[in-house]
Amino acid sequence: MACALHQITLPVRGDGKGDNVFAHAAVLAKRFGAHVQVVHCRPAAQDLMPYGVVVPNFLRKQLEDVSRNMADVTEETLREEFTALAEKFGLPVQLPARGQANTSFLEYTGKQADAVRHYGRLADLICVPKPDKSTNLGYNTLKSALFSSARPVMMCPEVEAVAPDLGRHVCIGWNGSLEATRALAMAMPLIEAAEAVTILTAGQDAHATSAEELVNYLDVRGVSARINSFEKDGNVGRKLLDHCASEGGDLLVMGAYHDSYERESIFGGNTQTVVEAAEIPIVLAH
């Protein structure tokens, strides 16, 4: 029996990136009959207080009142945008129902990273925007989703419009590592639903499963896959993107941060290259 997506979680805040991610999630929801759980992260008043500065009680109360009012306005605006987007993408606003594509809006008070940790663990897929390197926004959300949810994360780049057949051709970055194995297992609904599957490999870790063995495994599951092998020289992340593009892949599945997040963020690495340069959705798992 084919795997399926049942619940897709989408954390949002008033940064203007939610529309694009919702568009990606809506396409998958309609294909799989899944529920899109939109979680608005409302900042707690105390989190907006100046750190390390003693604030008089009367001033603290004023600041809390102002932040609360601002959060109310943001929430109201986002609810209106959510309702309009749900109608635009044809998703009824209702509670989850088995096999039905629909959506709901939840309010969470606290940090977005904590909201991802709270709701993401019961999601079949977490959708987040591609981090913005120029403003340094989005990295904490992506990191929290990858390292604290134990669920697959789809990073969505900004696009003009999301193709209705998103996931038609899935490419799998494969080296036999634990991270790649987890990504494979967690993304199986997308892999089994694809029209074409290509395995991108520059070889495997010592004693790890080969790309040829992966082809046989997928064949047992009813998935026909081909192999694209390339040399393991230079930045493998850049090569994964290049070969995915040359194959016509519209979604890449890969393990994330084989080295530590901090090391790759500072010194660069395969995952960090993909995160910064991707122009198609990337499904990541750590």
Based on the domain organization, do 134 and 197 belong to the same domain? no
State the pLDDT confidence band at 81, using cuts at 50, 70 and 90: very high
Spatial contact of 240 and 254, defined as CB atoms under 8 Å apart = yes
Looking at 95, 128, 156, which one is the last position of a domain? 156
pLDDT of 191 above 50: yes
Looking at 100, 129, 156, which one is the last position of a domain? 156
Classify the phi-psi angles of 129: left when phi > 0, otherwise alpha if psi is within -120 to 50, otherwise beta. Answer: beta
Spatial contact of 124 and 8, defined as CB atoms under 8 Å apart = yes
Nearest to 29 by CA among 113, 91, 101, 108: 101
Based on the domain organization, do 176 and 143 belong to the same domain? no
- Does 163 map to a domain? no
- Does 253 map to a domain? yes
Mean pLDDT value across residues 180-200: 97
Mean pLDDT value across residues 240-245: 97
Based on the domain organization, do 16 and 98 belong to the same domain? yes
| CA-derived radius of gyration, the chain | 20
- Host domain of residue 218: 169-285
Looking at 156, 185, 212, which one is the last position of a domain? 156
Structural domains counted in the chain: 2
Distance of alpha carbon 207 from alpha carbon 205, whole angstroms:
6
- Does 234 map to a domain? yes
Mean pLDDT value across residues 35-41: 95
Q: What contacts 122, CB < 8 A, 6 or more positions away?
A: 7, 9
Based on the domain organization, do 123 and 197 belong to the same domain? no
Based on the domain organization, do 233 and 143 belong to the same domain? no
Q: With both helix axes pointing from N to C terminus, report the angle between 139-148 and 112-120 in degrees, rounded to the nearest 10.
A: 30
Based on the domain organization, do 152 and 11 belong to the same domain? yes
Mean pLDDT value across residues 197-212: 89
- Does 120 map to a domain? yes
- Does 162 map to a domain? no
- Does 161 map to a domain? no
Based on the domain organization, do 185 and 110 belong to the same domain? no
Q: What is the pLDDT of residues 208-241, one digit of tens each?
A: 899 999 999 999 999 999 999 999 888 899 999 9
pLDDT of 79 above 70: yes
Q: Which one-letter DSSP state was computed for residue 234?
A: S
Mean pLDDT value across residues 62-86: 84
Q: Which one-letter DSSP state was computed for residue 93?
A: B
> What is the rounded average pLDDT for all residues in the chain?
89
* Residue 245: CATH number of its domain: 3.40.50.620
Based on the domain organization, do 113 and 228 belong to the same domain? no
Spatial contact of 208 and 176, defined as CB atoms under 8 Å apart = yes
Based on the domain organization, do 136 and 189 belong to the same domain? no
Share of the chain above pLDDT 70, in %: 90
Based on the domain organization, do 106 and 207 belong to the same domain? no
Q: What contacts 185, CB < 8 A, 6 or more positions away?
A: none
Based on the domain organization, do 178 and 112 belong to the same domain? no
- Does 212 map to a domain? yes
pLDDT of 264 above 60: no
Alpha helices (runs of H) in the chain, residue ranges in sequence order: 18-32, 57-88, 112-120, 139-148, 178-186, 188-193, 211-220, 236-247, 261-267, 270-277
Distance of alpha carbon 61 from alpha carbon 67, whole angstroms:
10
Based on the domain organization, do 126 and 234 belong to the same domain? no
State the pLDDT confidence band at 16, using cuts at 50, 70 and 90: confident
Distances (CA, A) of 48 to 45, 61, 62, 65, 137: 5, 12, 12, 11, 17
- Does 2 map to a domain? no
